[in-house]
Structure 1
């Protein structure tokens, strides 16, 4: 007879398979506790290989086989450009960043008469035209969201090469300067002297006290904050409210090992940050990998990633709006040295479905060099900073959303929205289905899976009965069959089915201040200056 123990094993395995299936189909349940990788240990090569393989096995869509031009024509244009905003009386330099203050003004960070080009830095990432002095004009200008007139301005004689700017929930202003290799915090009551400075002026490094071209800051409601560092180091660092380092993660996919698809926790310029506080996530614009990676804000572990062949392989900035289950707003950039079908546009990504659902651009056309993006919590207004030509864009939703999104700025000003989109920005065939498709499809899949399990079990049982009856009939014959002889029993251990691989160790938080030799300068020199 067929051993009952074998049937029991099969039943247990089927039940476990079902439980795993259901746990992975829950909304946003894509968490994988991937710890930080120590760049100095001997597991880095194995880590890269395993993560790259895992990415492909899980359905890598970094280069989907789609007709990009055709797919772009299918996307609805969600927002229209307001060409009258801001006032034309104020000339801007290269606009590198944009944020909201607590009064709803749009705050831009621009470079005045300073330009980042091939002569700005040497191969050691040291800023060369230091003798030119800081930017003489006010580098920070706030515009009224409605009228476009200047509300206030400040920051003359302070900055050399502005990059990122964020206004937090307390109206503190955080900036990054890639020439100074510093991050500065200006309190709401004092815009003339930084309350906090991190990094050493004009000294690039990779240590506890030094950055190398830091790019952006994101602040949590409790005062903790994140820094993306940046062009050279490709790491994310979390700090306490007082500036004490809590944790760090990230590796540079420009250096060390070559692979077609960058694994998780690897960055090719972490260029911008946005917080999805309602989801407990920090999302990073992984620029040269053309994707957004999202991580848990409490411990920095990987949560999810978003990439589309429609967007392309360069993604400059990301913002978030808490509508329709979470939407990301992103801007891409021109491909270097390639003739591609990808257009330089803004895109809206629906996080639950991981689909691009809309597009936008000036005059329903394309950008040239967009650099940063923000969006209002209801998704109705989008602002884009462009560094060449020097423009700050305002876009208004063609079909204003009426949702349960958080609408007050003081508690959400630190949330930089990303390519998101409400139902009205989707293609006509998807508009009425977005809200119901995810839940209905999930329920249908679960029901079908359960039915399939029961049918499979019944078939297996019937087959076992048939085998038993056949063996009884055959036993009357003189010839003996191999399966008539007893088999060797083995111990069944349920724990063997539950065995999982162990994660990696976290990065050493007490690393020395000694700076390693950079091996990425030649590779980084090919990246566009931004």
Structure 2
């Protein structure tokens, strides 16, 4: 009898969430409690959509704690991106001797420093997850101004270069597989990007690109790289979509940097206009400019960056079902200075945060609370 009562209670809870998940919501939580953890994983909704009642729940998000034994590699350029491969190794994308300043691009977003040639150093570095030592590197004499890195479930490495205005797919060993966009040509049609920031690959292999600093749109490509459609002002207003992550229900969540929020939407339904759910926003009074987002088991982990003197630079754990912040966290040894990207280990053991300013990688162990 008790078992039947528990199953009925779970069913009613999930049904209530499903009924309310169609409501567009902007959350500005002025009453944040740092240990107010939500008790339901979005995987429940994903399994429910497959006509399967969830057998287990992940009852709480994981708690990031700075790993004091970790040593970030030194003498690197601006570390613009970080990802984690299927083996649990962090992989970073850095800029070598290049920086981005007011003279790097003209008013048409055309790169002004081609004369320098590509970066001579290895720009893609795989690190030892225990020590931070560099295991291997590649990508020398290839990139001009690195930005985003994403590693898909098969170990393919996806990169964006904002000077080249291109998106690249490489094998795990650095063999080129696919190039999207036109070299050094900014544009706003389906064959061009303008300073693309981030890539994420859906479970069906379709490619999502945040395009980025100029076009403020999300673009979808099939798994072979053929363009399908873009999502922009006709559906959602973005101001520098800076990073992407994919939830278990296949929604794509966007770090909408200059709008000081995270936006989540179904990119497939939105593009096809098949009565799609409205995008929803997650806001918090301490967000500021959100630079990086990642996710694990349905919870979003995000980092902000310099916004104003009233906004601390921190990490955030976010429950996208209830659309609230469950924890604000950060390093214990020193404060963040200029976080730019964040990535979660696929096994849920660690988070990695890259910084531009001090060109540094932080490791946070993910612990049960």
CA contact (8 A) 1:24 1:30 kept: no
Shift of 1:143: 0.5
TM-score, with length taken from structure 2: 0.81
* Match in the other structure for 2:265: 295
Aligned counterparts of 2:199 and 2:241: Cα–Cα separation in 1: 11
The answer to whether structure 1 residue 222 and structure 2 residue 198 are counterparts is no
Q: Does structure 1 residue 328 correspond to structure 2 residue 300? A: yes
1:282 aligns with 2:244: no
- SS of residue matched to 2:258: helix
Task: Name the structure 1 match of 2:52.
Answer: none
Farther-moved stretch of structure 1 (350-359 vs 216-225) = 350-359
Residue 169 (1) aligns with residue 153 (2): yes
Give the structure 2 partner of residue 85 of structure 1.
Answer: 70
Distance 1:92 1:319 in 2: 23
Aligned positions of 1:376-455 closer than 5 A: 376-377=345-346, 379-397=348-366, 400-401=367-368, 424=369
| SS class of match (1:362) | coil
- Report the structure number with the largest CA radius of gyration: 1
What does 1:22-171 correspond to in 2, within 5 Å?
25-27=16-18, 29-31=20-22, 60-62=26-28, 78-86=63-71, 88=73, 90-171=74-155
Residue deviations 1:479-521 (CA, integer Å, cap 9, x gap): xxxxxxxxxxxxxxxxxxxxxxxxxxxxxxxxxxxxxxxxxxx
1:346-361 paired onto structure 2 within 5 Å: 346-361=315-330
What RMSD over aligned residues (CA atoms) do the two structures have, in Å?
A: 2.6
Q: Does the CA contact (< 8 Å) of 2:27 and 2:324 recur in 1?
A: no
Whole-Å separation in 2 of the counterparts to 1:186 and 1:267: 28
Contact 2:27–2:281 (CA under 8 A) maintained in structure 1: no
Q: Say whether the 8 Å CA contact 2:342–2:351 is kept in structure 1.
A: yes
Higher-helix-fraction structure:
1
Q: 1:396 to 1:162 in 2, by over 3 A?
A: same
Q: Which position in structure 1 is the counterpart of 2:280?
A: 304
Structure 2 unaligned regions, length at least 5 = 1-12, 38-61, 271-275
Deviation at 1:378, TM superposition (A): 5.5
SS in 1 for 2:114: helix
Q: In the alignment, which residue of structure 1 is the partner of 2:50?
A: none
Larger strand fraction of residues: 2
